[in-house]
Structure 1
Amino acid sequence: MKKLFALLWFSIVMLTAVCGLIFYTDSRKSQQSSQNNAQAAIYTMAGTKPTLPLAPSAQVRTKPASDRGALGTDYKAMQGSGKSVSAPDSSRAPDAEPATEAESAKKYTFTEEMYPYRAMLSKEQQEVYDDVYAAAVERRSDCAVGAMISQDALNDVMTAVYNDHPELFYLDTQYSYEYSGSGRVLKVTLKYNATAADYENSLKKFNDAADAIIKGASALTTAEDKEKYVYNAIMDSVKYNASAPVNQSAYSALVNKESVCAGYSRAFQYIMQKLDIPCYLCTGYSKGGAHAWNIVKLGDAYYNADISWDDSLGESGGYTYRYYNVSDEKFSVDHTRKGLSVKLPKAAGE
């Protein structure tokens, strides 16, 4: 009898303990649910729940395959047309204001690390570079040339300005100039693309599009993560279209979302520059056509990156990095530098 009583007492104690445990667990779940509901209410009152940008490893590719082009080679180099004028070599264009233009040019400073093409030029060419840049920033058509440079030297100047400064999205690849009987350039006339017609509105669209990517990349820590974030963001938002308007400009990629190799590369260059990461436009030939890509500096090493080709190769649900951060040795299989780009730093990084 005593054994039966003891067994019954033990069973009651165990049953009580189990019931208590079940009650405690249900209470914790209810408490957690209440906290979650309260937190959701706070987010509802405050607006959308704030989120950090996705790290590059967490970004998901969403662009359909139909929006990716072939491995395009649609880069257009700066092209000038000259006219001989009867004027002594010491003269300037009659409508130019040399002192005013010189003062404008003095407002700008260009470091070799961020603007390598200027550093490739002679002292006289750099003077013209500064004057042309100042004229472009102010959207002036005519720019007097005070330094003694030839027509060939002018083409290098115009290429250097255009390659160093993707922010001049409204500058066209065509220009004209006047030269004296001896071949000395006297004046340059800049041409602007369609975005210059409504510059203020175009500038706002350009800045808004770029800032959205810059904001996301800026939340990341390393230069490598920032680079890949920008790379992915541009690949996801831009469609390769050889017929896209102003397709040599960063504007076509960032705002119009349709571009060619030059537009992709200049958009990537511009945002990387804004993140204080040296990034250069590199031009040459590939698969028999004129092509543009980038060289990026990470730490002390330089790397090649061809964003338009990686975009074209990417598959739905994932990114392709076949041409991302590779050395010249690997890149030279199907990419050849030409012109001033030959003087850019060698990319030895893997």
Structure 2
Amino acid sequence: MKKLLTLSLSFVLASTLFIGTANFAHAAKAPAQPAVSAVAKTVKQSKSYSMILSALAQNDVIGQFDPTEITANEVGALINKVTQENPQVLYYKSANVWSNGKIEFAYSLPADVMKKNRVALDAKVKKVVASINKPGLSELDKVKAVHDYLVLNTEYDYANLQKNTIPADSYTAHGALLGGVAVCDGYTKAAQLLLNKLGIENHYVIGQIGDGLHSWNQVKLNDNYYFMDVTWNDPVPNRPGIIAYDYFLVTSNQLRKDHSWIEKNWAVATDKRYSYLQTGKTAAK
């Protein structure tokens, strides 16, 4: 008889209010399994990783893992790794895992809506990337353009946060880029997706603000790593045309003043060359 393992692996759609030094509010999904390092690569899981990614990217209800590589008990962490490293994955909710390698996926939206949103997101990403990726731009220019685009065109979903009614879309790149409304996971994944398309190494980071969960990005420029929290650079309530840079390309020391994360899971950020950008002031655009 095949063993069934039910996994509540999705990020729980619960939110926490954070107030930053610039009076920014933030929310994040809580992983039911421990977060997986964005920079660590598990070679022996590569086949299962590819199979899970292929299924989740198309919102398939049935997927597979290779039971000769990993056990059913290890699939949860691998699914979390896939969702954290691939922001094009939308609306994953939970999974039932069978010891013979079968996975039954559940999602938060109907299949037809998810398909429509996947197509729309792909088209939007291509359009935004084309608007950014101009000849002569440095990698710094591209990262700043992604950051600024999201701050200027996305509003933090504060209204739903207050009512505890945050929809699934606000936790996705689709919500940030198409709906223009997101919480921290939406901002983080939208930045991750755009930077991926621009060929800039970056990673999803999950951590905490106080006792609440939060997410942001790590970016590699000039062989150095930096942290970037787009959410915390977007004023709440929304102030059209205003961008902050307090959390743009900061070091580990700068970020740990009010953020915490399992630091061994991500590269240490020590380079201060962009500290001149963190003025503590906002800029009108």
Matched, 1:349 2:271: yes
Q: TM-score, normalised by structure 2?
A: 0.74
Shift of 1:349: 2.4
Aligned residue pairs, count? 239
CA distance in 1, matches of 2:49, 2:154: 31
Q: CA RMSD in A?
A: 2.7
Change (3 A) 1:271 1:78: farther
Map 1:58-77; keep pairs closer than 5 Å. 70-77=24-31
Give the structure with higher Rg (CA): 1
Match of 1:300 in 2: 223
Describe the SS at the equivalent of 2:88: coil
CA distance in 2, matches of 1:224, 1:269: 15
Q: Answer whether contact 2:56 2:92 (CA < 8 A) is retained.
A: no
Higher helix share: 1
Describe the SS at the equivalent of 2:29: coil
Matched, 1:131 2:46: no
CA distance in 2, matches of 1:259, 1:195: 20
Q: Which moved more, 1:308-317 or 1:290-299?
A: 308-317
Q: 2:152 aligns with which of 209, 221, 236?
A: 236
CA distance in 2, matches of 1:190, 1:69: 38
- Name the aligned partner's letter for residue 31 of structure 2: A
Map 1:110-259; keep pairs closer than 5 Å. 117=38, 119-121=40-42, 123=44, 125-148=45-68, 149-169=70-90, 171-179=91-99, 186-194=101-109, 196-219=111-134, 221-241=137-157, 242=161, 243-259=166-182
Q: 1:270 aligns with which of 190, 193, 198?
A: 193
List alignment gaps of at least 5 residues for structure 1. Answer: 1-67, 81-115, 180-184
CA distance in 2, matches of 1:208, 1:283: 27
Match of 1:283 in 2: 206
Q: Answer whether contact 2:152 2:242 (CA < 8 A) is retained.
A: no
Change (3 A) 1:336 1:256: same
Q: Answer whether contact 1:261 1:291 (CA < 8 A) is retained.
A: yes
Structure 1 residue ranges, 4+ long, deviating more than 4 angstroms after superposition: 313-317
Change (3 A) 1:177 1:137: same
Shift of 1:336: 1.5
Shift of 1:302: 0.7
Shift of 1:347: 1.8
Higher strand share: 2
Shift of 1:151: 4.8
- How big is each residue's C-alpha offset from its partner over 1:82-122, in whole Å with a ceiling of 9 and x where there is no partner? xxxxxxxxxxxxxxxxxxxxxxxxxxxxxxxxxx7484325
Q: Answer whether contact 1:327 1:347 (CA < 8 A) is retained.
A: yes
Q: 2:244 aligns with which of 293, 317, 320?
A: 320
**How many percent identity over aligned positions?**
21
CA distance in 2, matches of 1:153, 1:138: 22
Shift of 1:199: 4.3
Map 1:45-64; keep pairs closer than 5 Å. none
Matched, 1:337 2:261: yes
Describe the SS at the equivalent of 1:309: helix
Q: Answer whether contact 1:137 1:168 (CA < 8 A) is retained.
A: yes
Change (3 A) 1:207 1:259: same
